[in-house]
């Protein structure tokens, strides 16, 4: 490769500059990351499918486009997709035995838009089955290791995307976040990760988990990389009736003009419910607050009183929606089908029994229960009412503050197996991420320090369609800190 070589952790803008200036080709760049995957992914299992041939063909096409002067800031940049974005001609397993052999006949809108921009897909990343989990231990394809300590979990459900980016196997990766599945793995792996406002990015072609909550987003090392990806991912899509048709001109040009510190430093709320009893990470958050204060941000104590209701409400709503969304896997049209079914009932029963893992079954059972006659009002309707109260808390808070700062997760990455037999403890991992999901708000996790050698994350939550404020404040924080420039030792650049 021509000098100076791009490293595994070179920001997207610098990779793109190198491509434009012919310091390296997209084929060289793609080869570089494919080689790293071959060398390191045995220990991590962050990819389910590596699309080497296709990636090199896309890279060659990108090199032709660069030569023709028709490139975008993403043309020729290697990326990875969470394995729940449908990819025409490439397996989309969703981490499940149910879809282990499923190849979608079309691309998700996110995939199509990034392809059209000229990005090169390295492969599809591992994840908790149907995006249900916080540790990536629920994958049919095996657990993912955390690059900072492979005996620990990378978080979930987008753990493969997070581990791949943290280890420098891909510069950026897509993820999805229903209740924290981008933010929590970003925190555990020392990355920046953003879940945009519900409706900002099309859900078309994302395998559905909980449709009123699911949203696509990105992992990267810094906010400029998140913004560059979102610029192409965002925007109205007639194929998703919940996608917003209000364009965001600022976000759409964020690949060309990366976010800079905001013109006016924001007023940031600290919700007391999120900090009471916080042990691990309290010092790092305090230090982060001082950094932001020194840069002109002002802080205000606020209250989001219904926060303690968020976990129960989320697990009822998400389970209910999952139980209906997953009824389509019946062994008839696609997905796993049992051998020699005796009759239709047997076909349904055995195909679903064999195809789904434990956690998915738990969600289908609890979700079906919450929707059943006699329990609907007591569970589902009640959870929806709580959801509204939680949203109202945020709307009231945003009358006084521009953004809200919280921890992303209650602790650092935990050892594999620690919470695997305790679903309630696992669900508690989402305590700080789920409220913003229920309210449909954009939220981002940024690296803010370490505890016992493992990364910590802070979460910034914005008002609806407040991605600009999030990314600009993130740019301010990353200008004055270098946590996002630390990388795990086992995966040298």
Which residues does the annotation mark as catalytic? 82, 157, 181
Nearer to ligand GLN, 238 or 417 (CB): 417
Phi and psi torsions of 18, nearest 5°:
-60, -35
DSSP annotation of 130 reads: G
Report the residue from 63, 321, 430, 467 that binds ligand GLN according to the rule CB under 6 A: 430
Nearer residue to ligand GLN within complex by CB, 314 or 477? 314
- Residue from 132, 233, 326, 471 touching ligand GLN (CB under 6 A): that is 132
* Separation CA 454–CA 411 (nearest Å): 10
Query: Nearest CA to 478 among 192, 172, 188?
Result: 192
C-alpha 21/C-alpha 31 separation (Å) is: 18
Q: How far is the CB of 396 from ligand GLN (least distance, A)?
A: 25
Instruction: Identify the CA nearest to 174 among candidates 107, 262, 239.
Output: 107
| 366 interacts with ligand GLN by CB under 6 A | no
Nearer to ligand GLN by C-beta: 178 or 323? 178
Binding segment for ligand GLN among 47-55, 60-68, 179-187, 329-337 (CB under 6 A)?
179-187
Instruction: For residue 321, state whether it binds ligand GLN (rule: CB under 6 A).
Output: no
Cα 353-356-362 angle, rounded to 5 deg: 90
157 binds ligand GLN per the rule CB under 6 A? yes
Give rounded-to-5 percent helix, strand, coil for the chain: 40, 15, 45
Closest CA to 45 of 119, 134, 99, 123: 123
Instruction: Pick the stretch among 127-135, 186-194, 276-284, 474-482 that binds ligand GLN (CB under 6 A).
Output: 127-135
List 78, 118, 123, 133, residue binding ligand GLN (CB under 6 A): 133
Nearest by Cα to 435 from 202, 216, 282, 213: 213
Among residues 78, 145, 154, 180, the one that binds ligand GLN under rule CB under 6 A: 180
| Sole window of 11-19, 52-60, 174-182, 454-462 interacting with ligand GLN (rule: CB under 6 A) | 174-182
DSSP 326: G
Is 445 a binding residue for ligand GLN by CB under 6 A? The answer is no
- Helix or strand or coil: residue 346? helix
Kindly state the number of chain residues that form the binding site for ligand GLN, as judged by CB under 6 A: 13
Q: Is 181 in the site for ligand GLN (CB under 6 A)?
A: yes
Give the closest residue to 195 by CA, choosing from 453, 436, 477.
436
Q: Which residues bind ligand GLN (CB under 6 A)?
A: 131-134, 157, 177-181, 209, 318, 430
């Amino acid at each position: 490769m021509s000098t100076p070589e791009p490293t595994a952790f070179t920001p997207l803008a610098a990779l793109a500059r190198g491509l434009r200036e012919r310091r390296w080709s997209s084929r060289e760049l793609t080869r570089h990351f494919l080689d790293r995957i071959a060398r390191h992914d045995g220990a991590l299992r962050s990819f389910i499918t590596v699309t080497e041939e296709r990636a090199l063909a896309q890279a060659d096409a990108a090199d032709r486009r660069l030569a023709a002067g028709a490139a975008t800031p993403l043309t020729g940049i290697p990326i990875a997709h969470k394995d729940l974005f449908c990819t025409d001609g490439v397996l989309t397993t969703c981490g499940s035995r149910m879809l282990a052999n499923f190849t979608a006949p079309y691309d998700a809108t996110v995939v199509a838009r990034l392809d059209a921009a000229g990005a090169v897909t390295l492969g599809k990343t591992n994840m908790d089955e149907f995006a249900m989990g916080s540790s990536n231990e629920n994958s049919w394809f095996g657990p993912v290791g955390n690059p900072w300590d492979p005996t620990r979990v990378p978080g979930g459900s987008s753990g493969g995307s997070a581990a791949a980016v943290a280890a420098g196997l891909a510069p950026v990766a897509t993820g999805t976040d229903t209740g924290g599945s981008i933010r929590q793995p970003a925190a555990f792996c020392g990355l920046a990760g953003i879940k945009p406002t519900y409706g900002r990015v099309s859900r078309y072609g994302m395998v559905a988990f909980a449709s009123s909550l699911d949203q696509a987003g990105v992992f990267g090392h810094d906010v400029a990389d998140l913004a560059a990806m979102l610029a192409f991912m965002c925007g109205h899509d007639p194929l998703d009736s919940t996608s917003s048709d209000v364009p965001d001109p600022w976000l759409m040009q964020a690949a060309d003009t990366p976010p800079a510190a905001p013109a006016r430093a924001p007023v940031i709320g600290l919700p007391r419910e999120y900090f009471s009893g916080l042990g691990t990470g309290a010092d790092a958050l305090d230090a982060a607050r001082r950094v932001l204060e020194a840069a002109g941000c002002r802080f205000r104590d606020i209250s989001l009183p219904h926060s303690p209701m968020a976990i129960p409400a989320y697990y009822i709503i998400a389970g209910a929606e999952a139980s209906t969304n997953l009824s389509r896997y019946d062994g008839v049209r696609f997905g796993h089908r049992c051998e020699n079914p005796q009759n239709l009932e047997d076909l349904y029963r055995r195909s679903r029994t064999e195809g789904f893992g434990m956690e998915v079954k738990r969600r289908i059972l609890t979700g079906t229960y919450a929707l059943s006659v006699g329990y609907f009002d007591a569970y589902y309707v009640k959870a929806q009412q709580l959801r509204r109260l939680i949203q109202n808390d945020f709307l009231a808070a945003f009358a006084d503050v521009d953004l809200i700062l919280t921890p992303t997760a209650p602790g650092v990455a935990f050892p594999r197996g620690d919470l695997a037999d305790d679903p309630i403890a696992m669900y508690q991992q989402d305590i700080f991420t789920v409220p913003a999901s229920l309210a449909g708000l954009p939220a981002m996790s940024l690296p803010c320090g370490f505890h016992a050698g493992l990364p910590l994350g802070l979460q910034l939550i914005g008002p609806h369609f407040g991605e600009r404020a999030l990314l600009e404040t993130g740019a301010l924080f990353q200008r004055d800190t270098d946590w996002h420039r630390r990388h795990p030792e086992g995966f040298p650049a």
